[in-house]
Amino acid sequence: MINLDWKIQYRRFEMATINNTLKEENNNLADRITSVVAKNWLLVFSLSIGTYIGLPFLAPVFKSLGWNGMADSIYFLYSFVCHQYPQRSFFLFGQSSSYSLDTIQLWQDTSNPLTLGKFIGNSQLGWKVAWSDRMVAMYSSIPALSWLWYPLRDKIEPLPLWGFFSFLLPMGVDGITHILSDLAGLGNGFGSSNIWLKVLTGSAYSAEFYSGTQLGSFNSSMRILTGVLFGIGVVWFFFPQLDLLFRKTEKYLVIKQDQI
């Protein structure tokens, strides 16, 4: 009986030792992974958001290759985050990188926003990127600007909260005016004619600049500019905080390792 109790106690001790060893190994592995992420957090972030940014561009690539199922899946997924209007989107593998609403309507004769959003292009026009020019500017500018900020991060003061909202304000104003203008119907609202801008500039530019939606028009330029301003605000406000967090994490792991 005594011998049996001794074996049970030894077995319990042995299992506890194994469990503690496994727990310590798991903690060490978690610490190593956390340390790698903390040291390379911007690269990890860039690779992650790069996938999110890149998928909309793969949709027209897949479409041009005839991989319709994969392309349509991307268009469908990104329809939940963007209106996908073709007159406010970039095109690949066609005659131009963007088109006016009038040109789009030659191929898709409708002013219905839902129908227009589903138009993805054709072999003549090319195939639409799966989200709008503003979304491209917003999300592409974040990793691009973050790598410009990173080597200068110790010399640049973090952006205050009011500054962050100041960078978001232009996009809010532009977006709201688009929505209000579209209430009169796509291509019929005040944002489509921009008569106020013609008056201010004395009609110094072409009619396409004022009323067009394609790349180089006033409306397209404002969507891209406000998208980039959004990216500047995000990087300047959030990334210093992220950098501080990961620096503290890295320092904590070094101290923890020294105490082992």
Residues 194 and 235 in one domain: yes
pTM of structure: 0.84
Could you read off the pLDDT of 55-73 as tens digits, one per residue?
999 999 999 999 999 999 9
Residues 193 and 236 in one domain: yes
Residues 171 and 118 in one domain: no
Domain assignment of residue 139, yes or no: no
Residues forming beta bridges with residue 121, ordered by sequence position: 127
The helix (run of H) or strand (run of E) holding residue 52 is helix 41-65
Residues 124 and 160 in one domain: no
CA–CA dist 64, 68 (Å, integer): 9
CA–CA dist 83, 128 (Å, integer): 12
Residues 173 and 260 in one domain: yes
Residues 81 and 109 in one domain: yes
Q: What is the 3-state secondary structure (H, E, C) of 3-16?
A: HHHHHHHHHHHHHH
Residues 181 and 219 in one domain: yes
Residues 157 and 260 in one domain: yes
Buried/exposed code over 179-191 (b: 16+ C-beta within 10 A; e: otherwise): eebbeeebbebeb
Q: What's the pLDDT score for residue 26? A: 47
* Predicted confidence (pLDDT) at residue 4 exceeds the cutoff of 60: no
- Given pLDDT bands bounded at 50, 70 and 90, which one contains residue 12? low
Q: What's the pLDDT score for residue 188? A: 80
Number of domains in the chain: 2
Domain span at residue 230?
153-260
CA–CA dist 234, 159 (Å, integer): 9
